Structure 1
Amino acid sequence: MNILLSGGTGFAGKSITKLLTDKGHEVFILTRSTNKQSRPHVTYVKWLTDGAAPEKELPKIDAVINLAGESINNGRWSDEQKKKIYDSRMEATDEILRLIRSFEDTPSVLVNASAIGIYPPSETKIYTESAHERGSDFLAETVIDWEHKAKLAEDEGVRVVCARFGIILGKDDGALPNIVLPYKLMAGGTVGSGRQWLSWVHHEDVARAVWHAIEDETLEGPVNVTAPNPMKMKDFGKTVGSVLNRPHWMPVPGFALKIALGDKSALVLEGNKVLPKVLEEHGFSFKYPLLHDALKEIYDK
């Protein structure tokens, strides 16, 4: 297959690219960079820069994956950073829609990134894809608008899957390095109340779930991409300490994180219990369903 990928140089994008190329597919990565060198099964195509016309450089595209957007892990969430997070997602998705409309042969599917931040924080509720509750904070509003825009591709006859990613775990990127750092310094402990849920997923399972969404023609709409065993933050921290052989003893008060991170502190101080009901109903099997095994794979390399 010829697969068009935006955000391919980011954390999740790298894992997805590796899986797709290992399967022998051709991946065309949309990038603003001018110094990316193509390699076997991977072609870089300029977009969102002056004079860029990716539709003129692309072959027939079978599937599109849209991950593009400013990382929510970058910097403090100032008003300027929030605008960058929001606008980057809207701009990239608008361009994806323009490209889809420009193709003579319409791709069969668009897998658009989303986030479990669309659901409200809760210590007691369980959210599957059928849940109608929506959060009201910045991240939820961003995700709601992002999904709404992506679904416009359905007007072109494209099957749309909105992959609601949980906290993606990897060694060098995403939220995990910041969570693990205090443990490496022998100062790890419960963050905030410890009762908040952390719905996590190993980066390899993210890539496998995205491929599953492409391959399964019956899959459409919202899909929670989270491991089937979310953890309370306190238990998550204890598992990190156990895997790293470090103590779990020094609590991190919520007010300190709020001072340090501002609104961004909600990523770790608030959470929700999200289950991957649709993926499992469609026959997907997680490689890393348990946190201990996921962390062992990440840190035993």
Structure 2
Amino acid sequence: MKVLITGATGLIGKAITEQCHKQNMTVHYLTTSKEKIKHTEDYKGFYWNPTENKIDLACLDGVDAIINLAGASIAHRWTASYKNTIINSRLDTLRLIKETLQNNEHSVKHVISASAIGIYPDSLTNYYEEDTTAVSTSFLGTVVEQWEKMTDTFKELDVLVSKVRIGLVLDENDGALPQIVKPIKFNLGAAFGSGDQWQSWIHINDLAGVFVFVLTHQIEGVSNGVAPNPITNTELTKTVACVLKKKLFLPNIPKAMMSLILGEMHVLLFESQRVSSKKIEEAGYQFEFVHIKPALQDLLT
């Protein structure tokens, strides 16, 4: 099988590429940086620039499926200008891919796009499965709703369409975990707000595994990319401290303080989404990391 990946040089893309190679798949990837273009037998890079509507058509040669991970990071201050960047970076890339498929001969039968659990409303009590129709009124809810609507337009091209709603991705070197670990290492860790907000997490290896499983088993529609056992922010903080053999003695960090420091982006720390992995498990995916402590031990020790 030959797969085209956008965002292949990022955290999730690298992990998916590694798992594709383990299954003897060839990976083509699109990058906006000509310096990141490599050509080996099973890993070939191609240039694109979605803002200028440019794409190297050779990227589609013999490709069976596309995994779309492109989009600006949400971990930057949400100014009005950067909010537009977050949305447009997701919509413009999908639009360019769709137009390229529409206007050129190709062999693509399946499109899988990243999405996010930020589409689910903030709640301490709800347990969200993929068929939930309620959408968060937050900025992230708006972003994900538009992102998924654009992904769904690929159905017009008579290809299978899948979306993976990604939770809190745990990786030792990148993403949220190193930021969580930093203060705890100096015995300065503390939960945020009440600490009761749910964190639907997933180990990076399992997230890559979910994407590849959706690809190889042709799982249509939405799949939640989260581990089977969500935890609260307090539990996450305590478990990181336990694994690192550090103490927690500071009071919880008030929401108002983080709002001052981070602006609107502070909602990333305080919103609560308890999300189910039942669909992907029932389809046959077996998680490597089901509980938070073994996942953190794997990443931090």
Q: Shorter chain as normaliser: what TM range? A: over 0.9
Structure 1: distance between partners of 2:176 and 2:104:
37
1:251-286 C-alpha deviation (Å, 9 max, x unpaired): 222111111111111111111100112101211111
**Percent identity (aligned):** 34
Gaps of 5+ in 1: none
Structure 2: distance between partners of 1:52 and 1:137:
32
Contact 1:55 1:102 in 2 (8 A): no
Q: The residue matched to 1:30 in structure 2 has which SS? A: strand
Structure 2: distance between partners of 1:39 and 1:182:
41
Distance of aligned partners of 1:198 and 1:51 in 2 relative to their CA distance in 1, 3 Å threshold = closer
Please, which moves more after superposition, 245-254 or 278-287? 245-254
How far off is 1:78 after superposition?
Answer: 1.2
How far off is 1:148 after superposition?
Answer: 0.5
- The answer for the alignment partner of 2:47 in structure 1 is 46
Distance of aligned partners of 1:292 and 1:103 in 2 relative to their CA distance in 1, 3 Å threshold = farther
Structure 2: distance between partners of 1:183 and 1:124:
28
Contact 1:127 1:275 in 2 (8 A): yes
TM-score by length of 2: 0.95
- The answer for the alignment partner of 1:67 in structure 2 is 69
Q: The residue matched to 2:12 in structure 1 has which SS? A: helix
Distance of aligned partners of 1:189 and 1:4 in 2 relative to their CA distance in 1, 3 Å threshold = same
- The answer for the alignment partner of 1:79 in structure 2 is 80
Confirm whether residue 116 of structure 1 aligns to residue 114 of structure 2.
no
Q: The residue matched to 1:46 in structure 2 has which SS? A: strand
- The answer for the alignment partner of 1:201 in structure 2 is 202
Matches within 5 A, 1:26-175: 26-36=26-36, 37-48=38-49, 52-73=54-75, 75-175=76-176
Distance of aligned partners of 1:273 and 1:84 in 2 relative to their CA distance in 1, 3 Å threshold = same
Matches within 5 A, 1:177-256: 177-217=178-218, 219-250=219-250, 251-256=252-257
Structure 2: distance between partners of 1:24 and 1:200:
28
TM-score by length of 1: 0.95
How far off is 1:249 after superposition?
Answer: 2.1
Q: The residue matched to 2:34 in structure 1 has which SS? A: coil
Structure 2: distance between partners of 1:133 and 1:58:
36
Distance of aligned partners of 1:196 and 1:26 in 2 relative to their CA distance in 1, 3 Å threshold = same
1:125-180 C-alpha deviation (Å, 9 max, x unpaired): 11011111110111110100100101111111111111000011101111111111
Contact 1:164 1:225 in 2 (8 A): yes
Please, which moves more after superposition, 158-167 or 184-193? 184-193
1:70-103 C-alpha deviation (Å, 9 max, x unpaired): 0112x21111111111110011111121232244
Contact 1:100 1:106 in 2 (8 A): no
How far off is 1:40 after superposition?
Answer: 4.4
Amino acid at match of 1:16: I
Please, which moves more after superposition, 169-178 or 34-43? 34-43
Contact 1:197 1:233 in 2 (8 A): yes
Structure 1: distance between partners of 2:259 and 2:230:
24
Amino acid at match of 1:90: L
1:17-71 C-alpha deviation (Å, 9 max, x unpaired): 1111222211111001111233441111001166944223531110100000001
- The answer for the alignment partner of 1:271 in structure 2 is 272
1:232-264 C-alpha deviation (Å, 9 max, x unpaired): 111111111111111122222211111111111
Amino acid at match of 1:295: L
Q: The residue matched to 2:60 in structure 1 has which SS? A: coil
